[in-house]
Structure 1
Amino acid sequence: MLTLEPVYLLLGAFLVFAAIADVRERRHATAAFWAILSLPFLVGDAILASYKAGTAWPAQAMGVGVIALGVMAAWSRRRPSDDDAAAQVTRRGDAARLGNRLFGPALLIPLVTLLVALAAQYGPAPLRALIDAKQSTLVALGIASVVAFAVGLRVTGARVGAGLHEGHRVLDALGWAALLPMLLATLGSVFAATGVGDAIAALVAPVIPTDSRLACLTAFTLGMVLFTAIMGNAFAAFPVLMAGIGLPLLVQRHGAHPAVLGAIGMLTGYCGTLLTPMAANFNIVPVVLLELPDQYAVIRQQLPTAVGLLVVNVGLLWVLAF
């Protein structure tokens, strides 16, 4: 049965590759950053097993490593890997030659993820037995990424080493911002576990008419947008808003369909992602990479899309969730 362990091992191996490449380029601080980050992917299960067995020092050492990552991120300056003029000319020529075919591998990732996840949940029994149902979406994403990488090599005619080198170059350009989705998703779970959702429910109940379905739906959707904008990621906002407003008010009181509310509610949160500099990996890093003069250029362009999507999502929830 396929689980997340092979996916984590692939990610860890790629981070080790990036660390070795940075050592060769004499970028030792960046190499140390990726080397430390590779450890939870490669030996995370062993660290957890040792902690459960009563040996705490591996987990404590990993905690020190996480603190080191924070310190290094705060003091480091993002700088892409060295890329000579000849390589840039070659890359532009390849882009002109391949045209829109370059988008094919990227579009395969969501398509293959959807197909594999649906097959793992609703396909024939032998197929369902191949993938752990509890981790089917993330396993499907890992499979889709490998498929897209292979198709990308086929489309471009590049070798595996060239693909890894380009991935390393982009990873170095992103730097610490590559960690933001994981960290913010974890932060959302921490907030939910510490009762932030209950605190929000206590604050919202006296302010809005809870007997009004429209008022509760408006509070939920606007809250998803606002909290996502503050945290920088809808994964952080979702557990808090679902615990505070979604489940107690919309599902239990007004009978909203939980699956519809969860799916469209999460998408509504991404309207906030389009509007915030806190989503640095989406809205600030591209500005740096493209050397745009306006640091909020991406956000300004995304504002109409965010507002339009919010209105559409509210309408879809009103029609489909009740």
Structure 2
Amino acid sequence: MLISLDHIYYVLGALIAVVALLSFLDKNNPKRLLTGTFWGLYSIVFLFGTMISPVYMGVLVIAMAVIAGFGGVGTGRHEEATLEQRTAKARKLGNWLLMPALLIPAVTVFGTLGLKDFKLGGLQLLEKANLTLVSLGIACVLALVFAMLLTRDKGLQPVRESRRLFDAIGWAAVLPQMLATLGALFAAAGVGEVVAGLVSSAIPVDNRFMVVLAYGVGMALFTMVMGNAFAAFPVMAAGIGLPLIVQMHGGNAAIVASIGMLSGYCGTLMTPMAANFNIVPAALLDLPDKNGVIKAQVPTALILLTVNIFLMYFLVF
């Protein structure tokens, strides 16, 4: 195997490590030491995650939570081009500006479908177990290189822009990964079995539609509590999706997983717990109502959730 998910993690960890260093050196950030420490600890997760024992990794995560909880992650000053400069450059580049963003899904799909069995020197080019994620990582790197060639930016400018985004999002940038881990912990602790018991006592499990309804609504509600569909999925799949829909009623596991995740995303649209999706944009846009993004998304989320439930019912069996 030539390129694995670990290699993608190393690249991401190196990027975050440089962001941490730039934060340490930013004298305009009154919280530069704690901010740099926060991002430095986060980079360790990716750079040395396979070498550090779970106990020490847990201590590291707690340290990050303490720094963020006491407001230790601050924002520095960033040099930005003026509106006139950005407008002039955008007009010069035109629609080519869209190419880096379009390159990411194109390369990801090509890697996932076209390189799944490709070998180089007798070795599998991409790690099969995480083929899509590895392809996505490669796509992001290629898009970055293309964007640098397109804009003719050199040196640390891409990293500086990354740091600007990290500062804008703040500690919420780590939420998806942490919440997904929490979902895995809940599944390992047997929360899914508890959910299965509660559902079995509350609804007639021999009714296919009621089971699908419980799964779809449960994914949305648990996502609203956890803040992330990745955290809700292991619990709801272990509690309802696999034992009731797949094993009891013979449903298609792939459809259960895919539409179940879409149902969870409907919950993401309706919760402040998904801070990086709903609260951070409101802050960046200076909206007077910090829940304004959520309120605008609720009607769409409810309609999509209803559609997902009926899609699953008609397609899964």
TM-score by length of 2: 0.90
Q: Distance in 2 between matches of 1:214 and 1:60?
A: 43
How far did 1:311 drift? 2.4
Change (3 A) 1:85 1:205: closer
Matched to 1:5, the amino acid is D
Q: Which residue of 2 aligns with 1:39?
A: 44
In structure 2, the CA distance between the partners of 1:114 and 1:258, relative to structure 1 (3 Å rule), is: same
Deviation above 6 Å: which 4+ runs of structure 1?
none
Q: State the partner residue of 1:165.
A: 160
Is 2:169 the partner of 1:174? yes
Q: What amino acid maps onto 2:231 in structure 1?
A: A
Q: 2:190 aligns with which of 187, 195, 208?
A: 195
Shift in Å, 1:77: 5.9
1:23 aligns with 2:34: no
Q: Distance in 2 between matches of 1:272 and 1:96?
A: 39
1:133-172 equivalence runs, <5 A: 133-172=128-167
2:11 corresponds to which residue?
A: 10
Give, in angstroms, the shift of residue 84 of structure 1.
4.6
Go from structure 1 to structure 2 and tell me whether the alpha carbon gap of 1:176 and 1:112 turns closer, same or farther (over 3 Å shift): same
- C-alpha distance in structure 2 between counterparts of 1:265 and 1:65, whole Å: 32
- Say if 1:245 and 1:61 are closer, same or farther in 2 by CA, change over 3 A: closer
Match of 1:51 in 2: none
Map 1:30-179 to 2 at 5 A.
30-48=35-53, 60-76=55-71, 79-84=74-79, 87=82, 89-95=84-90, 97-98=92-93, 101-121=96-116, 123-124=117-118, 129-179=124-174
Aligned partners of 2:163 and 2:142: how far apart in 1?
A: 18
Give the Cα–Cα distance (whole angstroms) in 2 for the partners of residues 88 and 29 of structure 1: 32
Task: Please state how far the C-alpha of 1:120 moved relative to its aligned partner.
Answer: 4.2
> Does 137-146 or 214-223 show the bigger shift?
137-146
The two structures have a TM-score, normalised by structure 1, of: 0.89
Alpha-carbon deviation of 1:312?
A: 2.3
**Alpha carbons of structure 1 residues 304 and 114: separation in structure 2 relative to 1, 3 Å:** farther
Residues 41-88 of structure 1, C-alpha deviations (whole Å, 9 max, x = no match): 22222324xxxxxxxxxx655443222111110112654431357556
Range 104-113 or range 145-154, more displaced: 104-113
Checking the alignment, whether the CA contact within 8 Å between 1:216 and 1:245 is kept in structure 2 is yes
Contact 2:35 2:73 in 1 (8 A): no
Residue type matched to 2:232 in 1? Answer: A
Between the aligned partners of 1:161 and 1:236, the Cα distance in structure 2 is: 35
156-165 or 260-269, which deviates more? 156-165
Taking the TM superposition and a 5 Å limit, the aligned residue runs for 1:217-232 are 217-232=212-227
Taking the aligned partners of 1:21 and 1:227, their CA distance within structure 2 comes to 38
Please give the alpha-carbon distance, in whole angstroms, between the structure 1 residues aligned to 2:233 and 2:12: 26
Structure 1: stretches of 5+ with no match in the other structure: 49-58
Query: Which has more helix, going by share of residues?
Result: 1
Taking a change above 3 Å as real, the CA distance of residues 205 and 61 of structure 1, as seen in their structure-2 partners, is closer
Determine the C-alpha separation between the residues in 2 that align with 1:283 and 1:95: 28
Cα distance 1:85–1:163, how it changes in 2: closer, same or farther (>3 A)? closer
% identity of equivalent residues: 47
Q: CA distance change for structure 1 residues 253 and 61 in 2, over 3 Å: closer, same or farther? A: closer
More moved, 10-19 vs 215-224:
10-19
Partner AA of 1:150 in structure 2: V
For 2:94 and 2:180, the matched residues in 1 are separated by 35
Provide the C-alpha distance between the structure 2 equivalents of 1:100 and 1:306, rounded to a whole number of angstroms: 31
Aligned-pair RMSD on alpha carbons?
2.2
Tell which deviates more after alignment, 84-93 or 239-248: 84-93
Q: Equivalent residue for 1:53?
A: none
> SS of the counterpart of 1:205?
helix
Report deviation, 1:13: 0.9
User: Shift of the alpha carbon at 1:148?
Assistant: 1.7
Q: Deviations over 1:160-215 (max 9, x none)?
A: 52111101110111111010000010011000010111001111111111111111
Kindly provide the amino acid, as one letter, of the partner of residue 20 in structure 2.
Answer: A
The SS at the match of 2:209 is helix
8 Å Cα contact 1:120-1:128 kept in structure 2: no
The CA deviation at 1:24 is: 1.8
Distance 1:151 1:302, change over 3 A: farther
Q: Shift in Å at residue 216 of structure 1?
A: 0.5
Structure 1 residues 69, 276: CA separation in 2 closer, same or farther (over 3 Å shift)?
Answer: same
Residues 227 and 274, structure 2, Cα contact 8 Å, conserved in 1: yes
Q: Aligned pair in 2 of structure 1 residues 72, 91: CA closer, same or farther (>3 Å)?
A: farther
